[in-house]
Structure 1
Amino acid sequence: MAFHGPSYGLSRELHIKSQSKFSVERARECMMWVEEVINRKLEPEAQNIQDQFEFSNILKNGSVLCELINCIEPGSVKKINTMNAPFKQRENIEMYLKACVNYGLKEQDLFQVNDLYENKNLYMIVDNLYSLGGITQKKGWNGPILGVKVASENKRNFDQEVLKAGQSVIGLQYGSNKGASQAGMTPYGASRQIRPEDMEKRVDEPART
């Protein structure tokens, strides 16, 4: 486990917030699913995971994740690194994430390498596994089930006539200024022009009593 010393200020607040989002129960459920998919027990066994660090230690080198995606979609990761060198372990995680994208997961379903390798946002790894379990069901996976099936995208296609009709309705909503006229109206704030003939007319008019 990587140790970066104590966190202070905003970093500490974010770390505490991240820890509060992690659920040991959900992590156990994920790892029990992983054990069923790869058909072997992990160390410690999924049902015995006590905290987020035990969960992290199982997955940190990336080999279990690569094994998992290869069981779901054979050949997703061509070669899993077995060396203990940090860069090789991080490479495993990167290959797993790339395989997830190729399998159909969206960017919001992924996590950053450091989220796992440096124990930063371990709840995101749990969310990722649930998303992976959901999309396997959408793709007709016959193995163990985790999470809720991902809904298919509902695309609606309209022909040109329907689109034109919609545009006409929108146009009518704006109203019409046909028949309206501002002729003879003096703009607000503008001075009124006085013509000589208007002055003569006013002089000739008899005074009102």
Structure 2
Amino acid sequence: MNDSVRRRGRPARLSQDAILLVAQEIVEFGGIDALTMRAVAQRLSSSPMAIYRHVRDKDELLLLLLDRAAAALRRPELPADPRQRLVVLWRFLHDQLVANPWVVGVLAGGDLAGRSILWLVEEILQAFLACGLDAERAGAAYRAVWQYTVGVLTIRIAMARTASGLDRPSFQSEMIASVDPGQTPTIASFAGEWPHAWDNYEFGLNALLDGLIPRS
């Protein structure tokens, strides 16, 4: 555990920053379901009531963690062309979520979002508008690509978690490898190279953008 949180077995001085450091460790190694006020208190040799003096509830704790993660991001350089800006922005978001998979669970599980990420949403919406969409369609386009991105990452994280506990090929790959070419010849042709959603994110992203953005 981080020395700033606990040192030589003595209880750390309780602060919001100390609470966030411990909460970050919990979600990174155990996921958001492992994060409870009691778990944080135990790690800090404190009581849950003492934690509540610094953080209202688990939702506020997750909001603070999201805001902390978003504030640490370095903004990418953006091209002038709005269509290319969208590719860069969505790829940037995708890659940041790959690096912080616990964030996907938080964002997919409700309406929590950190204020520090609003610049990215603003840039994406402006790029959609610059591509010729009106405000309503720009909002709908944002939601469509966001849902695609979260879906890809949710599947990727779940499959990676499953694969980490297996010492054999996955059921899906075994099923594809054993299909009868006479009954399903197209599927059989993919055996050994079965496509996965997280391997072709950019392909799907570009296909979505092509469908969402009006052609000049």
Q: Same fold (TM over 0.5)?
A: no
- State TM-score, norm by structure 2: 0.21
Q: TM-score, normalised by structure 1?
A: 0.22
- Which has a greater percent of helix? 2
Larger Rg: 1
